[in-house]
Amino acid sequence: MEDKMNEMTDRLSKRENERQSEIQRRNELKDSSRSVQENVKIFTETFTKEKEMIENGINNCKPENKLETTTQLDQMSKNVMKLQKYLADSTIFLPKYEIRQAQEAIGNLQQQIQEKRDQLVPKKKFAFRSKKKSEQTNTESNVLGDISNGKVDSKPVNDLQVDLADCKFVDSQDVVLMKTDEEINQKDVSLARLTNCSIKLFGAPSTVHIKNLNNCKVFCGPVSSSIFVSDCKNCLFVIACQQLRTHSTEHSKFYLHVTSRAIIEDCSNVSFAPYNLQYNDLDKHYKESGLDKTKNNWNDVDDFNWLASDAHSPNWSVLAEQDREDSFQF
């Protein structure tokens, strides 16, 4: 009789544990879905705002001053390429319908610019000029086609990110690199192909792209939107942002403040701890960035290569407290 009671108790306990596990799994799925929805909403709002600004710029072009019109249309083309880059960066979480809609909008903007150029600016006389323009148009069309098909080539996109960045550090080694708020506030920043460098970004950038860093240390003030990290190894990142996306990175530490969620893909041996950077004007930069200083999801990491809900991803870990730096002060 006692054995039967014990068996029944074990059965009920097991059933309750399964029920609790299922509730936890559903809550995790719900949280993940909510995070994706938040990212889509942010993308839609930002994309729409930038698209409207470009359309206004195109419509404000006047025929009176052809040189000024050419300069303005060239700037609008550059802004469209930035918008195209933003779309490529966001395809990881956007539904296919949103990608198609954005791709169509970018195509329409390019057409509007070309039509306005044909209307207000005389055609170039020399054949090699037309060829250059044709090559540029074909390149843009190919990238847009790749985006709509979900096949974004990472190398051209990342090269484009570096080329279009407002501020950048590239191709350096064994140096200390620094930019202040006057140089980077609300601007796109790129760090690329750096080795054995210490990089200090003391301000509130709009977006930061980091690619091909080896044995580097990056100290960055609060970033208004996203930080993108790819192809880095043996690095230290002390960073704050709305969203962190990390690709193909290994043996690196992140001291992180993120108000949305951190995403990793094709990464290994990356560890996370709370953001602990200290420098003059940090509080001011938090206000300028719009980040909520009280909200930090530094240990809420999505590994896109690890789908098991009942086990922790082996690709990332929480940095043990005894192994953490108390703070990084400048």
pLDDT at 321: 92
pLDDT at 155: 40
Give which of 190, 250, 263, 268 is closest to 223, Cα–Cα. Answer: 190
List per-residue pLDDT tens for the chain, 330 residues long.
556 566 666 666 676 677 666 666 565 555 555 566 778 888 888 899 899 999 998 888 887 777 888 888 888 888 888 888 788 778 777 887 888 888 888 888 888 888 888 887 665 544 444 444 444 444 444 444 444 444 444 343 445 566 667 788 999 999 999 999 999 998 889 999 999 999 999 999 988 999 999 999 999 999 988 898 999 999 999 999 988 989 999 999 999 999 988 989 899 999 999 999 999 999 999 999 888 899 999 998 988 888 777 788 999 999 999 999 999 999
Q: Is 308 left (phi over 0), alpha (psi -120 to 50) or beta?
A: beta
N- to C-terminal Cα separation, the chain:
71
Torsion of CA 47, 49, 53, 56, to 10 degrees: 110
pTM above 0.75, yes or no: no
The CATH class for the domain spanning 159-329 reads mainly beta
Residues 6+ away with beta carbon under 8 Å from 186: 204, 205, 206, 224, 288
pLDDT at 154: 38
The CATH class for the domain spanning 32-149 reads mainly alpha
Residues 6+ away with beta carbon under 8 Å from 24: none
Residues 6+ away with beta carbon under 8 Å from 188: 82, 161, 164, 165, 166, 167, 205, 206, 207, 208, 209
Helices marked H in 181-297: 181-184, 282-289
User: In this structure, how many other beta carbons lie within 10 angstroms of the beta carbon of residue 152?
Assistant: 17
pLDDT at 26: 60
Q: Cα–Cα distance between 279 and 276 in angstroms, integer?
A: 10
pLDDT at 308: 76
Torsion of CA 291, 44, 90, 111, to 10 degrees: -130
Torsion of CA 143, 147, 150, 156, to 10 degrees: 40
pLDDT at 30: 54
Q: Where are the domains of the chain?
A: 32-149, 159-329
